[in-house]
């Protein structure tokens, strides 16, 4: 489904799933719990032990901030 953005001609794609797909994704999430211990600490989807609140908390209080760098770049025109 495409949804128009406010004050823009651009559209955002939103994916919706039927009942079968939703159930399959829930089952996949449940089965992935067995592998929770091997996932990266930066992965927050389909995790039983951490979630979006932990991601926000990590962004607000980053460890080792004095050693981090940020790179901001615009590659939009590269693909046109």
pLDDT at residue number 80: 55
Single pTM value for the model: 0.47
* Spatial contact of 2 and 13, defined as CB atoms under 8 Å apart: yes
pLDDT at residue number 21: 94
pLDDT at residue number 79: 66
Task: Give 17-53 pLDDT, tens digit per residue.
Answer: 999 999 998 898 889 888 888 888 888 877 877 888 8
Q: Percentage of the chain with pLDDT > 70?
A: 94
Q: To 5 degrees, how large is the angle CA 47–CA 43–CA 59?
A: 110
């Amino acid at each position: 489904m495409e949804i128009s953005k406010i004050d823009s001609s651009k559209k955002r794609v939103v994916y919706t799933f039927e009942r079968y797909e939703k159930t399959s994704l829930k089952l996949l999430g449940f089965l992935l719990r067995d592998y929770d211990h091997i996932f990266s600490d930066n992965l927050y989807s389909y995790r039983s032990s951490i979630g979006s609140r932990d991601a926000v908390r990590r962004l607000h209080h980053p460890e080792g901030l004095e050693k981090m760098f940020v790179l901001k770049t615009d590659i939009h025109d590269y693909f046109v």
